[in-house]
Amino acid sequence: MSDVAIRLDGIGKEYRLGGSRRKSPSLRDALSELGSALVRGRKEAGPTGTFWALKDVSFEIKAGDVVGVVGHNGAGKSTLLKILSRITDPTTGFAEIRGRIGSLLEVGTGFHPELTGRENILLNGAILGMARHEIERRFDEIVDFSGVEKFIDTPVKRYSSGMYLRLAFAVAVHLESEILLVDEVLAVGDAQFQKKCLDRMQSVSQSGRTVLLVSHNMSAIRNICTRGLILEGGRLLEYGEVNSVTDQYLSRMCRRGESAGPVETRHFRLDDVRIQSAKAPVIRTFDPVNIHVRFA
């Protein structure tokens, strides 16, 4: 058991559909719900009941494992990471986590909008239990990676979503947490930033840290992760060696006629595509063009 970083036993997460039904609603909430009910009328009320985002999920992750989490939208991937990050509590079961957790779930998660970039770096490090001198030792590296040097003393609420994401990713991968949780960061940002993220994730995966990476990019999952798991309908379908898991996932998607995201084949890799025309920069319909494709 000493080498287990994460252990889940019977984890389930139930959400209520329709009305919130707070146990202790405020007067404003009660009046708002009453007004909504009067406007809607009973016949037009939305669906009610409950929905299980996760159901009876159990597995163990050893320290140093890099695990790719795959599944279609709504399978429960983000809910799983939120439970592990202690953002939300499970309805059933329990999770045992050994080590400090760094996470990048949604853009801006863990940042205080009124604080500057500098202050948020210090805050996130303090939350992880790091001493100030430990954070300052990593500070320049974080700022350089994020590329927000000119705005580091500006409140992050004034950042663009891209700046927000770059700083959040830099903080998550550079601060010294034993466990790193990353949700779909490779699907956001421009191609240059995605490559930078992939390169950094490669180095993180080789550093001995325990990583859970949620992504629809099967090529990234194969290249970065050592193990994988499939979630479907909130349940764990498969957990094992990454190539076996991704092969099974792709096979399931193909049988359903669905796309499972970009896949790098063993035959060639597409590096660059350029469209050129003598009439550039404006190319009109039916103008001749040259298309240059570079692959390896």
The CA angle 105-187-231, to the nearest 5 degrees, is: 65
Q: pLDDT (tens digit, 9 = 90+) per residue, 35-64? A: 666 666 555 555 668 999 999 999 999 999
Average pLDDT across the chain, whole number = 83
Find the DSSP H helices in 147-256.
161-174, 191-205, 218-224, 242-256
C-alpha distance from residue 94 to each of 22, 90, 215 (Å): 24, 7, 25
Query: What are the structural domains, with CATH classification, of the chain?
Result: 4-23+50-265 (3.40.50.300)
Tally of helices (H runs) and strands (E runs) in the chain:
8, 11
Structure tokens at 260: 């499972």
Residue 53 pLDDT: 96
Packed helices 191-205 and 161-174: angle between N→C axes, nearest 10 degrees: 10
Single pTM value for the model: 0.71
Structure tokens at 196: 């930078």
Q: pLDDT (tens digit, 9 = 90+) per residue, 87-127? A: 899 999 999 999 988 887 765 567 899 999 999 999 888 87
Structure tokens at 285: 């319909």
Q: pLDDT (tens digit, 9 = 90+) per residue, 126-135? A: 877 778 888 8
Q: pLDDT (tens digit, 9 = 90+) per residue, 221-274? A: 998 899 999 999 999 999 999 999 999 998 888 777 665 555 555 567 777 888
Amino acid identity, residue 200? R
What are the φ and ψ backbone dihedral angles of 232, each rounded to 5 degrees? -145, 125
Amino acid identity, residue 18? G
